[in-house]
Amino acid sequence: MIIRKVFLRIFILMIGMLIIMGSMTNAQQMKKNGQMPKKSSQQSQQASTPDWHKKVRISPRAFITQTIGITDVTISYSCPGVKKRKIWGDLVPYNKVWRAGANEATKITFSKDVFINGKKFPAGSYSFFIISSENKDWTIIFNKVADQWGAFEYNEAEDFARFKVKPVSSNYHEWLSYTFDNMIVNQKGKNSAEVNLNWDKVRIPFTIEADVK
């Protein structure tokens, strides 16, 4: 009885090995004849995932939207990191137009007309630049060419408005970011918010006013 069981197990094992070998031979023959089934799009995408990191930006893209009154304000930008570098006067040279972020120029979009530092801006999109200075007020620039790469094709003739602002010392920010702060209803009956660019130990502010009806 025991001998029969041993022979039966050996027989089953041999049958299994023959089936596996047959499947492998069949697959090799199909591959040789070009009959292998094609990978699905999902399988192809999964197979390509090891290369996904090559498309990640060193300075990640970011978006922030805030409703002020009845107006949506959206800022799209890329946020570089300090990474132990000297920022002001070095990575960002003084007295030169800077994209106020990284990669594409920073873009600000208004769904309706607004006022910035007292000047009326029609609804639409504007690129945003900054000129830093070591001992003077800094200059913020709103340019009518909304979509451009960095400041390489910046044209002063396309500026819609320029303002002088005072940079403010702030808490440390490793990654550049934009925030909306001090949202109030001002004496003019408009909703008002302070927009801040925050990076390293500097904050650069300007004020947006929007209608409430």
The mean per-residue pLDDT over the stretch 101-128 comes to: 96
Average pLDDT taken over every residue of the chain: 84
Question: What whole-number distance in Å separates Cα of residue 102 and Cα of residue 125?
Answer: 18
- Is pLDDT of 4 > 90? no
Return the domain boundaries, the chain: 1-34, 53-210
Tens digits of residue pLDDT in 27-37: 455 555 545 44
Q: What share of the chain has pLDDT > 70, as a percent?
A: 74
